[in-house]
Amino acid sequence: MEGFRYSEALKSSGLVWDEATLDRFLAAPREVVPKTTMTMGVSKPEDRQNIVAYLKSLSQ
Protein backbone atom coordinates (compact mmCIF):
# COMPACT_ATOMS: atom_id res chain seq x y z
CA MET A 1 0.00 0.00 0.00
CA GLU A 2 1.42 3.31 -1.02
CA GLY A 3 2.21 5.58 1.90
CA PHE A 4 1.96 2.88 4.58
CA ARG A 5 4.90 2.71 7.00
CA TYR A 6 5.84 -0.97 6.97
CA SER A 7 8.00 -2.28 9.80
CA GLU A 8 11.57 -3.29 9.02
CA ALA A 9 10.58 -6.87 9.91
CA LEU A 10 7.93 -6.92 7.18
CA LYS A 11 10.16 -5.20 4.65
CA SER A 12 12.96 -7.69 5.18
CA SER A 13 10.77 -10.80 5.55
CA GLY A 14 11.09 -11.81 1.89
CA LEU A 15 7.52 -13.10 1.93
CA VAL A 16 5.49 -13.42 -1.24
CA TRP A 17 2.07 -12.12 -0.30
CA ASP A 18 -0.45 -14.54 -1.70
CA GLU A 19 -3.79 -15.43 -0.09
CA ALA A 20 -2.37 -18.35 1.91
CA THR A 21 0.53 -16.33 3.32
CA LEU A 22 -1.73 -13.44 4.23
CA ASP A 23 -4.13 -15.83 5.97
CA ARG A 24 -1.28 -17.35 8.01
CA PHE A 25 0.02 -13.88 8.89
CA LEU A 26 -3.40 -12.63 9.95
CA ALA A 27 -3.88 -15.72 12.13
CA ALA A 28 -0.51 -15.50 13.90
CA PRO A 29 1.52 -12.45 12.87
CA ARG A 30 4.52 -13.04 15.11
CA GLU A 31 4.84 -16.68 14.08
CA VAL A 32 5.12 -15.63 10.44
CA VAL A 33 7.18 -12.44 10.95
CA PRO A 34 8.71 -12.63 14.46
CA LYS A 35 9.52 -8.93 14.90
CA THR A 36 6.39 -7.51 13.28
CA THR A 37 4.65 -4.65 15.04
CA MET A 38 1.29 -6.41 14.54
CA THR A 39 0.74 -8.11 17.88
CA MET A 40 -2.77 -9.54 17.65
CA GLY A 41 -4.00 -12.07 15.15
CA VAL A 42 -7.46 -12.69 13.75
CA SER A 43 -8.63 -15.99 15.22
CA LYS A 44 -11.77 -16.70 13.19
CA PRO A 45 -11.10 -18.19 9.73
CA GLU A 46 -14.21 -16.52 8.31
CA ASP A 47 -13.00 -13.10 9.45
CA ARG A 48 -9.58 -13.71 7.85
CA GLN A 49 -11.25 -14.81 4.62
CA ASN A 50 -13.30 -11.61 4.60
CA ILE A 51 -10.19 -9.47 5.13
CA VAL A 52 -8.33 -11.27 2.33
CA ALA A 53 -11.31 -10.91 -0.02
CA TYR A 54 -11.60 -7.20 0.78
CA LEU A 55 -7.90 -6.55 0.18
CA LYS A 56 -8.07 -8.53 -3.06
CA SER A 57 -11.01 -6.40 -4.22
CA LEU A 58 -8.90 -3.26 -3.80
CA SER A 59 -6.39 -4.48 -6.38
CA GLN A 60 -8.93 -5.18 -9.11
For residue range 2-50, what is the model confidence (pLDDT) as tens digits?
788 999 999 999 999 999 999 999 999 999 999 999 999 999 999 999 9
Buried b (16+ CB within 10 A) or exposed e, 26-44: bbebeebbeebeeeeebee
User: Is 2 among the domain residues?
Assistant: no
Quick check: is 42 in a domain? yes
The CA-based angle 13-59-41, given to 5 degrees, is 45
Q: Per the structure, how many domains does the chain have?
A: 1
Q: How far apart are CA 60 and CA 57, in angstroms?
A: 5
Residue 18 lies in a domain: yes
| pLDDT confidence tier of residue 55, bands split at 50, 70 and 90 | very high
Torsion of CA 20, 26, 30, 31, to 10 degrees: -40
